Amino acid sequence: MMSSTASKAVRNRLPNRREHTALTFETADGFSFTAGLGYFDDGRLAEIFLNADKVGTAIETNARDSAVVASLALQHGVSPETIRRALSRNENGAASGPLGTLLDLLASRETDEKGRKGT
């Protein structure tokens, strides 16, 4: 039960028109997903949509639900890195689920871009 004195978190609203990209990827266990990514005007990740190739399955439902929760966290100021580090990992350190796999992929791309720019 939530306390009536709990402070209300502030959600950063998304602009009606915003950058959106899509990509496909595969998890360590071989499932394929398509991700849609929306961004704030300043370039920060703001929303995630996840769909599995296996439509109507529990795998897709879990992926979609995790993306909704991650999007709400992002819009309340939680960084993608914080979310990424909080998610489950396999024994070898690989992400266990699609959201973690996606965030690892994005973190890797960001690192590669910084390396190319020399920062």
Q: How far is CA 86 from CA 17, 97, 106, in A?
A: 30, 12, 15
Number of domains forming the structure of the chain: 1
- Whether residue 41 is contained in a domain is answered as yes
- Whether residue 5 is contained in a domain is answered as no
Domain that holds residue 59: 20-117
Mean pLDDT of each 10-residue bin along the chain, 119 residues long: 63 84 94 96 95 93 97 96 95 94 94 69
Matching residue, tokens 């360590």: 28
CATH label of the domain that carries residue 96: 3.30.390
* DSSP-assigned beta bridge partners for residue 114: none
| pTM assigned to the model | 0.85
Instruction: Show the 3-state SS of 34-91.
Output: EEEEEECCCCCEEEEEEEECCCCCHHHHHHHHHHHHHHHHHHCCCCHHHHHHHCCECC
- Whether residue 14 is contained in a domain is answered as no
Q: Does residue 118 sit in helix, strand or coil?
A: coil
Q: What is the pLDDT of residue 8?
A: 73
* DSSP-assigned beta bridge partners for residue 47: 38
